[in-house]
Structure 1
């Protein structure tokens, strides 16, 4: 009798645990009415500088906290703490992204019921963070003109899934080979729903549009939360 070879396909979702915990986080944030923004970008794209410029302006009318993700050190967290907001540090010690269990491990350190906005500054990377849901309401991707204009085509997923795309360090456009019209066309082909905002932290250009976008995001979350509360009351 001839031997019979049976092929059995074994497959499991390696991110199932992350998806489950992200769903729990999303429910937790919704119960407390906290809007959560996940900020992604390469190392040196200007994520922390963006927040240094944004937090003092946003905190005039919003209650904000930050979860700061980095491989090692608390340097960025210390910079942001100068804005007199609560900052919680997560060191991945070599890990290339934050995941939902990491966020779940520190949210108890935050007064969620007293917050309007929780900002997560993810680990500097355009690849891995795009695949991990953190329970956020929206994702912002920062692309600096100094990184080169080929990044959206080389790393399309993170730009395709973004809710807003920030082109940073635009004051350096005269000095670097960055084809802005071409990048805008590529970004539009990848993602037609996300606004593309040009920013310069040095000059302060573009921040009005960016801050307005953040405030509108928070207002949208407030509306959803109040709608749920009204429905439960009925």
Structure 2
């Protein structure tokens, strides 16, 4: 008896692409700019979103969709900072999918109302592989790498760095304590994704955040 291989990846991705198209149309209808935030665990996604909101909230009403395998710690943190937040627990899944985002958007619509949101940050599950394959209807995907993770991550996980529309290197304030080769990091990105702007930041200390937020505001305005 011959073996038969059943592929499930293609149907799953096709369904997600349809949902992503619907989400994109929904976001455009309400003039919501969506940022898909990608990184490994501990890189500083939450602190970067919070620091970005601090600099943008006078101009834009920002909300967050939090993706985690378990817990609602980050969503609580966002709400305490005054940002509407919806928590998605994936139960072990290493990425967010369009159907999850659609449910979160439904919750926003029933709560604060989509016309009262200008920007949604999607804090994706911390993973450097899975999230790349799943379009969430976003305007922009950003990749956050932190200095303690090492300058070799773009070599080990090239796909996520190639996918990103902007690249943030976080925790640069602690760079002297780590063996991070900035020249090697930039050389690798020159080959992988030379067109994406790069920002060296410390979300906690504020270093480089004004430059990043000014660029992001330009993208938000250009999308209107």
Report the TM-score when normalising by structure 2. Answer: 0.92
Distance 1:192 1:47 in 2: 23
Identify if the C-alpha distance between structure 1 residues 202 and 63 changes in structure 2 by more than 3 Å, giving closer, same or farther.
closer
Partner Cα distance (1:215, 1:114) in 2: 18
How many angstroms does 1:11 deviate by?
Answer: 6.3
Residue 158 of structure 1: SS of its match in structure 2?
Answer: helix
- Which residue is equivalent to 1:101? 99
Query: Contact (CA 8 Å) 2:36, 2:138: kept in 1 or not?
Result: yes
Q: Does the Cα contact within 8 Å between 1:34 and 1:221 map onto a contact in 2?
A: no
Give the 3-state SS of the residue equivalent to 1:106 in structure 2: helix
| 8 Å Cα contact 2:47/2:204 also seen in 1 | no
Match of 1:75 in 2: 73
* Alignment root-mean-square deviation, CA: 1.8
Q: Which residue matches 1:232? A: none
Range 11-20 or range 168-177, more displaced: 11-20
Question: What is aligned with 2:201?
Answer: 199
Q: How far, CA to CA, are the matches of 1:85 and 1:169 in structure 2? A: 23
Runs of 4+ in 1 over 6 A off after TM superposition: 8-12
Measure, in 2, the Cα distance between the counterparts of 1:104 and 1:119: 14
Aligned to 1:58: 56
Q: CA deviation at 1:202?
A: 3.3
SS of the equivalent of 1:105 reads: helix
Q: Distance in 2 between matches of 1:150 and 1:218?
A: 31
Aligned to 2:85: 87
Indicate which of 205, 216, 219 corresponds to 1:214: 216
Q: 1:10 Cα deviation (Å)?
A: 7.6
Could you tell me how far 1:167 is from its partner in structure 2?
Answer: 0.2
* Correspondence for 2:172 among 164, 170, 173: 170
Partner of 1:115: 117
Unaligned stretches of 5+ in structure 1?
1-7, 223-234
Cα distance in 1 between the residues matched to 2:63 and 2:14: 28
CA shift at 1:185, angstroms?
1.1
Q: Gapped runs of 5+ residues in structure 2?
A: none
Q: CA deviation at 1:9?
A: 9.7
Aligned residue among 156, 159, 182 for 1:157: 159
Q: Does 1:182 align with 2:150?
A: no
Question: Comparing 200-209 with 175-184, which one deviates more in the overlay?
Answer: 200-209
Q: 2:39, 2:144 within 8 Å by CA — same for their partners in 1?
A: yes
Partner of 2:195, secondary structure, is coil
Larger radius of gyration: 1
